[in-house]
Structure 1
């Protein structure tokens, strides 16, 4: 993902918005890719309780916090975003697993 304009090269709000929109599009594409793997994980798991794997969640959060620091991002904000994403994924997985078990 190459920037059309580096942040310092943006001369107007519109220049900045174009870059943010480009990044948002790339993020959405990555979220969709991630979601396909979450769906596959839900297909593999056999019990809804498997969706909430505390050890895995905390491992992911630790990685996110460390990577955030390395990127000079606020690790608390990154953790909040990932915990929200993980919570959504856990609920999604539970729903798929439960629906499959009802059949």
Structure 2
């Protein structure tokens, strides 16, 4: 993986950011597949899409990870809550089908 200091110019930097963005989309796609599987299991076990304790556990986990790596935990929490809301909506759609 390229480090920021390895980028000699803006073209290198932009290419590295574009590569990271591609990796992030791949990871989000994988995460969505796990969300789809969660919906299947929740349906089978008659669980709701939103389980508040789990939401808070996930948010707490990513806040700790962010802080440990020097990233703003508040930013990470906002991003994850948006992703969690999207995931829950996806699960609710699957559960209603």
TM-score calculated relative to the size of structure 2 = 0.92
Residue 14 in 1 paired to residue 28 in 2? Answer: no
Secondary structure of the equivalent of 1:18?
helix
Distance 2:6 2:19 in 1: 16
Corresponding residue of 2:27: 30
Corresponding residue of 1:54: 52
Deviating beyond 2 angstroms after TM superposition, the runs of 4 or more aligned structure 1 residues are none
RMSD: 1.1
Residue 78 in 1 paired to residue 76 in 2? Answer: yes
| Aligned pairs, number | 95
Could you list the runs of 5+ residues in structure 1 that have no partner in the other structure?
none
TM-score calculated relative to the size of structure 1 = 0.87
In the alignment, which of 74, 92, 95 is matched to residue 94 of structure 1?
Answer: 92
